[in-house]
Homo-oligomer: A and B are copies of this chain.
């Protein structure tokens, strides 16, 4: 663990609370437009279709499509299915940008600020670059650099995505630690030789979360939150 020089962070769920943020922004838009809807259900279904939408890209059924565009296609489908009417084009474009304005978990900014003094901090997210830049500016996330699936046009857990970060950091895989709240992401990083930190986010999917409540593999470390991660890493 003392070899670690850089940390790469999964973002959605690990650093930011997408569910509460999407619900709040959709609800505010609904209130402004006088539209009643089950905004929690919209948020949950929007996220539930995240992996399937990337799967179509992963399987090559559609050409490379960044996450903003996948989010928008999913949103258009869901609004029709849920019979949410009354949003015009600019409302939908604005709602899609809710993913650029997700609130960090309370420990994220203080933990990252501590970690940044000792390590290089990068995103390593399936979110597109612009989304991650906007989010960092809005939420005050102190990244040293933005790595994204978009840079190599391969969505995690494709090995190419993890290896691109390792290569650009000019590190060996064992000198880079992947930090995530998701077992699958960390297992894929470990398969490329990266070190791994599991940080449980038991409220990510709402009050009835069943997945990723605990580490399911032998990760390098397990931390309660980013402050605990900083403490364990001596930052």
A interface residues with partner B (beta carbon < 8 Å): 68, 120, 128-130, 132-134, 136-137, 143-146, 150-151, 168-170
User: Secondary structure at chain A's binding surface: helix, strand, loop or mixed?
Assistant: helix
Cβ A170 vs Cβ B128 within 8 A: yes
Residues in chain B near residue A136, CB distance under 8 A: 144
Which of B120, B150, B170 lies in contact with A137, CB distance below 8 A? B120
Given A120-B137, A137-B120, A145:B168 Cβ within 8 A: no
Within the complex, the shortest CB–CB distance from A164 to chain B, in Å, comes to 9
Residues in chain B near residue A144, CB distance under 8 A: 133, 136-137, 146
Q: What separation, in Å, do the CA atoms of A136 and B68 have in the docked complex? A: 28
Nearest residue (CB) in B for A132 is B145
Residues in chain B near residue A133, CB distance under 8 A: 120, 144-145, 169
Residues in chain B near residue A130, CB distance under 8 A: 168-170
Which of B68, B120, B143, B151 lies in contact with A170, CB distance below 8 A? B68
Q: List 19 A-B contacts (CB under 8 A).
A: A120-B134, A128-B168, A128-B170, A129-B145, A129-B168, A129-B169, A130-B168, A130-B170, A133-B144, A133-B145, A133-B169, A136-B144, A137-B144, A143-B145, A144-B146, A145-B146, A150-B168, A151-B151, A151-B168
Nearest residue (CB) in B for A117 is B137
Q: What separation, in Å, do the CA atoms of A144 and B220 have in the docked complex? A: 29
Nearest residue (CB) in B for A119 is B137
Given A68-B170, A120-B133, A128-B168, 4 additional A-B pairs, CB 8 A? A129-B169, A133-B169, A145-B145, A145-B146
Nearest residue (CB) in B for A6 is B133
Residues in chain B near residue A168, CB distance under 8 A: 128-130, 150-151
Q: What separation, in Å, do the CA atoms of A136 and B169 have in the docked complex? A: 14
